[in-house]
């Protein structure tokens, strides 16, 4: 039986400009789909993504997905489309905050307008998880890409752990060297009922350590052009956690990728996921 794979990310080519993580998700999921592997994707619906160009459709059962919040009612919806010229299904989170994100902000490697992102991360991660129940779909693996998905391993292990629906789903953290990793303010975390200060999720090192600890495996995408994560990865406590992962830690060097390189990467990742 083949794996069911779900990837949550803020970048997917061609909905966003080409990037290491966006190209990886697009290419690998397309290869899986062509080989009859059920791979589905989840990303924000930015204001610059055209419903008409990419034929985004409303999904009735995904129209109202409540996100727990202390102050206001937050009920995002989710639309569906395919990566152009493929049958890879992409779910788009629709929320007013994401509509405000311009293309330069969305494409920024360093998350230049971070306060906008910081408010979106918790909504994104909660909705990415809850969408699965509304879809009646249980993936075997969630690929949690970079800081925008870093709360998902925590939420699955600390918030949703009593729900049978999610018990068989394994979170895998995917880090790419072209993306900066930051923490989330404690005030925002507490507004979304995430108040465990001992995990220190407002600190980049703390959030990364939490994601590594609660994930079943870690994949690092490397490229000589980028080194945004080097300082974090060289932190002694982070490095120790990665060493503890042993065979559950996979490094992938992606240089000048072509069809053969993406095919090889897809095979390596799938074999890795089968064995976690």
Structure tokens at 183: 């923490």
> Are the C-beta atoms of 9 and 43 separated by less than 8 Å?
yes
| Mean pLDDT of the chain, nearest integer | 93
Percent of the chain's residues with pLDDT above 90: 84
Predicted confidence band at 73 (pLDDT cuts at 50, 70, 90)? confident
Sequence-distant (6+) residues with CB within 8 A of 204 are 147, 181, 182, 183, 232
> Are the C-beta atoms of 49 and 118 separated by less than 8 Å?
no
Encode pLDDT of 90-118 as tens digits: 999 999 888 777 665 666 666 656 666 77
Residue 227 reports pLDDT greater than 70: yes
Residue 155 reports pLDDT greater than 80: yes
pLDDT at 114: 62
Lowest mean pLDDT across 2-16, 63-77, 241-255: 63-77
Encode pLDDT of 4-49 as tens digits: 999 999 999 999 999 999 999 999 999 999 999 999 999 999 989 9
pTM of the predicted structure, to 2 decimals? 0.95
Query: What residue spans define the domains of the chain?
Result: 4-39+122-274
User: Cα separation of 66 and 146, whole Å?
Assistant: 24
pLDDT at 97: 80
> Are the C-beta atoms of 100 and 94 separated by less than 8 Å?
no
- The alpha carbon dihedral of 203, 204, 207, 213 has a sign of negative
Query: 184: buried, middle or exposed (CB in 10 Å: 19+, 13-18, 0-12)?
Result: buried
Predicted confidence band at 247 (pLDDT cuts at 50, 70, 90)? very high
- CATH fold group of domain 4-39+122-274: Rossmann fold (3.40.50)
């Amino acid at each position: 039986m083949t794996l069911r794979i779900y990837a949550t990310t803020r970048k997917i080519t061609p909905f966003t400009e080409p990037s290491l993580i966006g190209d990886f998700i697009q290419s690998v999921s397309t290869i899986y789909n062509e080989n009859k592997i059920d791979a589905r994707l989840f990303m924000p619906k930015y204001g610059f993504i055209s419903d008409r160009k990419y034929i985004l459709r409303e999904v009735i059962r995904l129209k109202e997905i409540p996100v727990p919040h202390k102050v206001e009612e937050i009920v995002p919806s989710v639309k569906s489309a395919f990566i152009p010229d493929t049958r890879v299904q992409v779910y788009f989170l629709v929320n007013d905050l994401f509509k405000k994100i311009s293309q330069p902000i969305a494409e920024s490697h360093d998350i230049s307008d971070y306060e906008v992102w910081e408010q979106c991360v918790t909504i994104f991660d909660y909705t990415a998880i809850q969408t699965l129940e509304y879809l009646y779909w249980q993936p075997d693996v969630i690929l949690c890409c970079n800081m925008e998905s870093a709360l998902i391993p925590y939420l699955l292990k600390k918030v949703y752990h009593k729900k049978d629906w999610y018990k068989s789903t394994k979170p895998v953290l995917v880090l790419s060297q072209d993306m900066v990793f930051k923490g989330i303010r404690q005030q925002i975390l507490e507004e979304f009922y995430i108040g465990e200060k001992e995990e220190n999720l407002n600190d980049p090192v703390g959030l990364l350590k939490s994601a590594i600890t609660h994930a079943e495996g870690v994949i690092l995408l490397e490229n000589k052009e980028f080194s945004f994560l080097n300082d974090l990865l060289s932190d002694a406590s982070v490095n120790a956690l990665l060493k503890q992962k042993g065979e559950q830690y996979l490094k992938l060097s992606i240089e000048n990728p072509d069809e053969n390189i993406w095919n090889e990467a897809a095979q390596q990742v799938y074999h890795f996921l089968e064995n976690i």
